[in-house]
Homo-oligomer: A and B are copies of this chain.
Amino acid sequence: MPPTAQQVSALDLVLELAMLLDDDLTQHLGRQGLTVSRAHLLWELGRAGPVTQQALARAMGVSARNITGLVDGLAATGFVARQAHPTDRRATLVTFTKKGEKTVQALQRGQQELAQQLFTGWPDHQFGTFVTGLREVLARLRLASQEGR
């Protein structure tokens, strides 16, 4: 039995939302000289403080080689710097420059602004039901993703 038309068009809305968010993010970051991947690395760095490239690779779920490239780019554009690890001479610590630190703070502010723009003024029950719905969709999507393996 096929899904209802309402179900299909609800998924269309979700997919359109995902695309728009991605486009918006790409534009926004591009204006600051960043890509989505590089911003992701900055974000992790903001969460975990100075860390090794290995730690970044694990946290972001990408290869070590990939981190080398992202750090190269971020260092060349002045967002991060490499520092010697104090005890392990094989390892490198990735740290913020002043510019990088300010940029991460700006990204955080930008996210807060967006949260406000999207959700200010919603009736309480609508907001609550929407959030509950999001959680339900996320839970089901995680299940569906696992099945597909």
Contact = CB atoms under 8 A, between A and B. Distances in A.
Nearest to A137: B118
Given A10-B119, A20-B141, A130 B133 contact: yes
A140 interface: yes
B10 A130 contact: yes
15 contacts: A3-B120, A6-B119, A7-B118, A10-B115, A10-B127, A11-B111, A13-B134, A13-B135, A15-B21, A18-B21, A24-B141, A117-B140, A117-B143, A127-B133, A129-B129
Interface in A82-96: none
Contact of A17 (B129, B141, B148): B141
Contact-residue bracket for chain A: 35 or more
A72 interface: no
Contacts of A27: 145, 148-149
A10 B119 CA distance: 8
A20 B134 CA distance: 12
Nearest to A16: B138
B115 A126 contact: no
B145 A24 contact: yes
Interface in A1-30: 2-3, 6-11, 13-18, 20-24, 27-28
Given A18-B22, A21-B18, A8 B112 contact: yes
A77 interface: no
Nearest to A149: B27
